[in-house]
Structures are given as structure tokens and as C-alpha cells.
């Protein structure tokens, strides 16, 4: 029996093996057919077209997003003023001020020839700022995000750039809230690698307007040459939407107290016309190491403080209203030079050093308008026109500095100096110094700063010291006789307190991403 079963089992096993072999062959043939079909399908695909579609999708996703960046600084400023009273006595005042400064930047490029850029800013003292509700000029739009106040978020920049080519001339047109703070040269002390549009020596403030830039380096053969036409408006002559209540009946306001015929956003009639500026920026040369830039501008209808409703001849102690009034025009210009890397391979230290020098001028064109404040004080009308003079007055300023490597890797040391003459006048309200613009000083100003990385470029620390020694009063004031330059003797004779010097020590930490 066993002899019969064994052959049967062997036969069954062999039959199963032969059957499995046939099945395997069938599967292999089917796989070969499928592979041939895949090869044929792949051969029909347009790989270049697929790559183009993927690139288009990536570009679309990138362009359809608004990209944000953060610039946040917390700082402690120790400010000090030395003053001289009308009696000749010297006094001093000081304060320690904690501040937070936040700039939220944004950008988008929906098309190859169209870009949007913007920035929102908040610059606040710790806690409540006691001056915010007492001074109507505290929140002026010229330095809205550059002067600490409350924690209100304000518009710093918002503009679009449309660009293209006209033959060998690349052009761009831009409208909106300008990138006009921390411009050429002043970007170094601000710790910004890329300067904003204007020359910071004589223009450093926030304003709205337009620009038209033409790159002419290809047609002239001069590296980096371009022209830029700039237009701006610093004040709009427009009434408020709702009427101003002009009277008070002792108990409350009534409709009879409102302006009888109010027309929203029409001419407000308080002698504060449109304040406009037009200028030309000419970058003469820029090869990456040497850069020469100039500007020339004219501003129309510069503003002075007009004091009205005086109760008697002593407005310094009695009630009055203050508004802005047109006192004249101002022209100005600058020529600035920067060396990014001193010499050619002399040493690593000089290769990584930056030197600059700049000269700027300003010239007034008064209209003969004078404030009733100064008339009431018995001053001559000729002394109460533009910067206290009825003549066209010219001022000048020089500005120079150097930035070198620090003691350790990626640390930077900067030293700057500037001097302004008696009638020097700048538009530098947006300069980031709590004691006021050093570049507006009629006198001498010195600054030294040291910057070091804490966490690479994302978190840096800086200590800076600014000292201003004034020769004349009125630096960075309005354009009427509040900006009149007086020396110590003249200020004492006029009964004014004269700031002799001011200093600001700043310790700060800055986060950028």
C-alpha cells in the first residue's frame, strides 16, 4: 500500500510545481505588457511642459502671498539737557525713558513688473505718555512712527512700484506713503543695511507723494547712475468732516456754537495752505565701493506757528490759540560721498570699513508773514518773518562719519560728527533720537555707537551716545520766528531759556526676522 501512495504523492507535487510555473510565466508576461505600456505613456509626456507648470505654480503661490517681516526694539534712553535761563543761571534736567518700537513690514509681487511694499509702526513709552494729551504737535504725521508716544499703530510706508524698460533705460514709478526715513548715510547709524530713498543729511521724515526713477547707467556707461524725480505733500489744506465748536456758553456746547456753514474737506481758511515739495535725486556714481549722490529740492508754503486770540500783550502767560500759517518757501540740496571698503586689499580691517562725508545747504524765501505773538511782545515785524528774518538767509551743514569692525566678529563701531551754521534748516523730524534731530543742530553734534550680535543677525544689542552742543536756538523748530537763531546773549535779552547742550545715552536690544 505504501508503495502505491508514494508515487501518487510525488506525481501530485510535480503537477502542482508545473502548474505554478505556468502561472508565474503568465504573471511575468502581464508585467512585461504593463511596463511596455508605461514606457509608451512616458514617451508621450512633455517633461519640459510639466516643469514649466510646476514653476508656474510655485511662482503663483509665492506671488499670491503677502510676506511679512518684524523689526522690534526695546530701549532705555538716559537724556540730559544743560540750559541757560534769562538771568544767566545754568540749570539741567534729565530723565530715563523706556521705549518699545515695532515696525511690521510687508511686501507682495503679484506680477513681474509690479510690487507693493508697506510698513506699520508703533513707538511707545512704557506705560502712559503724559505729554500726548497736552501737545497738539506730539503726533504730527511727519514723524508718526519715529517719535515715542502712545501705542497707536500708524502708517509708516505704503506704496507700489511699477517698473519696466524703455530701451536701455530701466524706469520705475511709485505712489503712496514714501520710504523716506533712514535714507542714504543715516541708515548706518540706524543699523539698516539698505538705505531708504532720500539723502538722510537733509531729508529724514515721513511724507506722502510720488517718485519716478530712470536708470541711465547703460546709456551713459557710468556705473549706477540714475535720476529720480520726487514729489511730496507735507500738509493738506482741508477742513474736518464735522464742524468745529467755536464757543462755550458756560454750561455746555449748543448748535449755535457750531460753525454756521460747514463744508467737509473744503479749504479750512486758517492760512495753512497746501505744503508741497519737489526734488531731484541724482546718483552720479555707484560701483559698489564708491558712491556719490546729490539732491536738490524746493518746498512751498513752509509752516509757522500762528498765535491768535491773545488776551493781552503777555501771551507767554495768557491764553491763545495756535494754528499753522504759511511763512515762505525753502530750497536746499546736498552732495554726499561714501566709500564701502577703504582702499584695495590694504588690510581686512580697511576692506570692512565704511567712510562718508556730506555737504548740504538751505535757503529761505520769506513772505513777510509774522506772528501776532511776537508783535504783542514788542518785537519788530522784520524779526518775525521766516526764521526771524525778512531777508533770504542761507545755511549749511557738514556731516561725516566712519564705521569699522568691532573687537569681535560681526561687531560694528561707528563714529559721526556734524556741524550746522546759524541759518541751517533741514527736514529731519524723523531722526530717531529722543533729544531731537542731531542733523538739524545749529552747532556741533557727536555720536558714537557700538553694535554686537546676540543671536546672529536676528537679535542685536547696541549702546550709543549722542551729544549736541548748540551755538544758536531754533534747531528743528517751525519755519517762523520760533526757529529764529539766537546766541546766548540774544536769547537772554529776549527773555528765553536757551538749551546749551543735550545728550542721549541709549541701551537697546533689537529683534529682526
pLDDT of residue 85 exceeding 60: yes
Domain range holding 326? 72-246+264-512
Helices (H), strands (E): how many in the chain? Answer: 7, 16
55 occurs within a structural domain: no
Lowest mean pLDDT among 35-49, 108-122, 360-374: 35-49
Cβ atoms of 431 and 146 within 8 Å: the answer is yes
35 domain residue, yes or no: no
pLDDT score for 379: 46
CATH number at residue 97: 2.40.160.10
In the predicted model, what is the mean pLDDT of the chain? Answer: 85
| pLDDT number for residue 48 | 66
The DSSP 8-state label assigned to residue 335 in this structure reads E
**Of 449, 474, 476, 475, residue with least CA distance to 463:** 449
Q: Per mean pLDDT, which range of 15-24, 265-274, 411-420, 466-475 is the poorest? A: 15-24
- Which one has a higher pLDDT value, 405 or 264? 405
Nearest in space to 206 (alpha carbons), one of 173, 174, 179, 176? 179
The grid coordinates listed for 25 are: 510565466
Q: List, in order, residues 6 or more apart from 187 with CB less than 8 Å away.
A: 193, 194, 195, 196, 200
Q: Which residues contact 179 (CB under 8 A, 6 or more apart)?
A: 117, 157, 159, 196, 197
Q: Does pLDDT of 42 surpass 90?
A: no
161 in any annotated domain: yes
Residue 495: pLDDT band (50, 70, 90) is confident
Q: How many distinct structural domains can be found in the chain?
A: 1
Mean local confidence (pLDDT), 54-71 = 74
Across 364-391, average pLDDT: 65
Q: Is residue 30 part of a domain?
A: no
Residue 41, domain member (yes or no): no
Give me the percent of the chain exceeding a pLDDT of 70: 78
Q: Is residue 483 part of a domain?
A: yes
Q: 49 lies in a domain?
A: no
Q: What is the DSSP string of 348-400?
A: HHHHT-EEEEEEEEEEEEE-----HHHHHTT--GGGSSBTTBSS--EEEEEEE
**Grid cell locating 11:** 506525481
Amino acid at each position: 500500500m505504501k508503495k502505491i501512495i508514494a508515487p501518487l504523492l510525488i506525481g501530485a507535487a510535480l503537477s502542482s510545481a508545473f502548474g505554478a510555473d505556468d502561472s508565474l510565466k503568465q504573471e511575468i508576461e502581464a508585467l512585461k505588457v504593463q511596463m511596455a505600456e508605461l514606457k509608451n505613456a512616458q514617451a508621450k509626456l512633455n517633461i519640459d511642459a510639466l516643469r514649466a507648470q510646476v514653476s508656474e505654480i510655485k511662482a503663483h503661490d509665492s506671488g499670491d502671498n503677502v510676506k511679512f517681516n518684524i523689526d522690534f526694539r526695546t530701549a532705555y534712553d538716559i537724556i540730559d539737557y544743560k540750559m541757560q535761563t534769562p538771568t544767566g543761571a545754568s540749570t539741567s534736567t534729565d530723565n530715563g525713558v523706556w521705549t518699545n518700537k515695532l515696525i511690521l513690514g510687508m511686501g507682495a509681487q503679484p506680477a513681474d513688473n509690479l510690487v507693493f511694499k508697506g510698513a506699520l509702526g508703533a513707538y511707545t513709552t512704557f506705560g502712559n505718555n503724559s505729554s500726548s494729551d497736552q501737545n497738539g504737535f506730539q503726533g504730527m504725521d511727519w514723524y508718526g512712527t519715529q517719535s515715542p508716544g502712545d501705542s497707536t499703530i500708524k502708517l509708516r510706508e505704503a506704496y507700489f512700484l511699477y517698473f519696466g524698460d524703455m530701451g536701455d533705460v530701466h524706469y520705475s514709478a511709485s505712489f503712496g506713503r514714501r520710504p523716506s526715513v533712514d535714507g542714504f548715510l543715516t541708515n548706518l547709524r540706524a543699523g539698516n543695511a539698505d538705505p531708504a530713498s532720500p539723502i538722510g543729511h537733509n531729508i529724514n521724515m515721513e511724507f506722502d507723494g510720488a517718485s519716478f526713477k530712470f536708470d541711465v547707467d547703460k546709456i551713459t556707461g557710468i556705473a549706477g547712475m540714475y535720476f529720480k524725480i520726487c514729489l511730496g505733500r507735507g500738509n493738506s489744506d482741508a477742513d474736518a468732516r464735522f464742524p468745529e465748536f467755536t464757543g462755550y456758553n458756560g454750561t455746555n456746547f449748543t448748535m449755535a456754537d457750531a460753525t454756521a456753514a460747514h463744508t467737509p474737506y473744503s479749504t479750512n481758511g486758517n492760512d495753512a495752505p497746501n505744503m508741497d515739495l519737489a526734488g531731484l535725486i541724482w546718483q552720479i556714481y555707484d560701483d559698489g565701493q564708491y558712491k556719490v549722490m546729490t539732491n536738490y529740492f524746493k518746498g512751498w508754503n513752509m509752516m509757522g506757528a500762528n498765535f491768535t486770540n491773545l488776551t493781552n500783550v503777555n501771551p507767554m502767560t495768557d491764553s491763545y490759540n495756535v494754528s499753522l500759517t504759511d511763512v515762505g518757501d525753502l530750497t536746499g540740496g546736498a552732495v554726499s560721498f561714501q566709500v564701502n571698503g577703504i582702499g584695495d586689499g590694504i588690510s581686512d580691517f580697511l576692506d570692512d570699513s565704511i567712510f562718508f562725508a556730506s555737504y548740504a545747504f538751505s535757503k529761505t524765501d520769506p513772505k513777510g508773514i509774522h506772528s501776532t505773538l511776537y508783535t504783542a511782545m514788542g518785537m519788530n515785524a522784520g524779526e518775525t518773518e521766516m526764521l526771524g528774518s525778512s531777508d533770504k538767509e542761507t545755511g549749511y551743514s557738514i556731516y561725516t562719519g566712519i564705521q569699522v569692525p568691532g573687537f569681535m566678529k560681526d561687531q560694528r563701531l561707528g563714529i559721526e560728527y556734524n556741524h550746522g551754521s546759524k541759518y541751517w534748516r533741514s527736514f529731519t523730524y524723523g531722526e530717531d533720537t529722543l533729544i531731537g534731530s542731531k542733523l538739524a543742530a545749529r552747532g556741533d553734534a557727536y555720536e558714537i555707537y557700538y553694535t554686537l550680535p546676540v543671536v546672529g543677525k536676528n537679535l542685536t544689542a547696541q549702546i550709543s551716545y549722542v551729544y549736541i552742543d548748540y551755538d544758536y536756538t531754533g534747531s528743528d523748530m517751525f519755519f517762523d520766528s520760533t526757529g529764529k537763531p539766537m546766541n546766548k546773549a540774544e536769547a537772554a535779552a529776549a527773555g528765553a531759556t536757551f538749551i546749551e547742550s543735550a545728550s542721549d545715552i541709549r541701551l537697546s536690544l533689537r529683534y529682526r526676522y
